Structures are given as C-alpha cells and as structure tokens.
Amino acid sequence: MIVKFLASFCFLVMAVVFAFVFSKVSSFVEKHILNRLCVQEQIIVITIGTVLFEAGLVLLLAKVIAWSIIDSLFVASLLLLAMIWLPAYFRPYQENASRTVGKFHRGIHSGEIEVHKFGSMHPFFIGTLIFCAVGLLTVFGYYFSYFI
C-alpha cells in the first residue's frame, strides 16, 4: 500500500516538474526565438521542431525498452495518431451528450454542434501528422517484403 502511494506520489511530482520545465522552455523559445520570425516561419519552425521532438522520443523509447527503432516507430506513430485524432473525433459526442442533459434538466437549448472535422491546422497537429505518416509508411516499406 505504501509502495503504491510512494510510486504515485513520485509520478505526480515528476509530472508537475516536467510541466513546469516544459512551460519555462516554451516561454523562453517563444520570447527569444519565435518572436523574431514572421508567422509563416514560426509555423515551419514549430512543425519541424515537433517532428524532431517526436523522433527523439521514438529513439529514446527504443533505447529504454530495448526494442528496434522500426518497432518503436510503429508503436509511437499509432499512439500519437490516436492521441491527436480520438479527442477531436469524440468531442462532438461529448458536446451532444452535455447539450442533451442541459436541455432535459433545465430546458436550455444551446444550439447545434459541428460535425467532426479532422482537427485544426495547428503546427503541432501538422508536425504530428507528418511524423505519423512518414513513420507508418517507413514501417510498411520495411516489412513489405514479408507480405509478398
């Protein structure tokens, strides 16, 4: 029981420290690097930075778990694709459910909901899509000879 508590507490502390460090790094990069660029250059830098960051995470995952890089790339690409697509896919369902409850209990009509669109065109979203597409195509190309 106490081991579970300590493990949970350590995980919570690490998550808070990671969020704090990420916030400081993000504000430093925004203040000192991105403010000097035009909007188009900012989008390109953030997109390339996202792809490089995710590639670094895949290499770190492969090293820590002792998997091959190609297998880590496949798993990471699927997980990242799910992380960016599933919340956007289920958002209309959640909005519709909350609007139904509001209308049933309070009689409040809060308008129509939008149909699911494949997400925003934010640079992080674009970078993750590029990484996932290249990663899955690379894995498919690598293992294609096994299927022929």
Question: What's the DSSP call for residue 116?
Answer: P
In this structure, the answer to whether residues 28 and 67 fall within a common structural domain is no
In this structure, the answer to whether residues 87 and 108 fall within a common structural domain is yes
Q: How many domains does the chain have?
A: 2
pTM (2 d.p.)? 0.70
Rounded to the nearest angstrom, the gap between the alpha carbon of residue 104 and the centroid of all alpha carbons in its chain is 35
In this structure, the answer to whether residues 58 and 25 fall within a common structural domain is no
In this structure, the answer to whether residues 134 and 91 fall within a common structural domain is yes
pLDDT at 131: 94
In this structure, the answer to whether residues 140 and 70 fall within a common structural domain is yes
In this structure, the answer to whether residues 29 and 65 fall within a common structural domain is no
Are 135 and 71 within 8 A, CB to CB?
A: no
The whole domain housing 10 covers 1-36
In this structure, the answer to whether residues 67 and 18 fall within a common structural domain is no
pLDDT at 47: 92
In this structure, the answer to whether residues 46 and 19 fall within a common structural domain is no
In this structure, the answer to whether residues 44 and 26 fall within a common structural domain is no
pLDDT for 53 beyond 80: yes
Q: Give residue 128's identity as a one-letter amino acid code.
A: T
pLDDT for 91 beyond 90: no
Are 59 and 69 within 8 A, CB to CB?
A: yes
Share of the chain above pLDDT 70, in %: 89
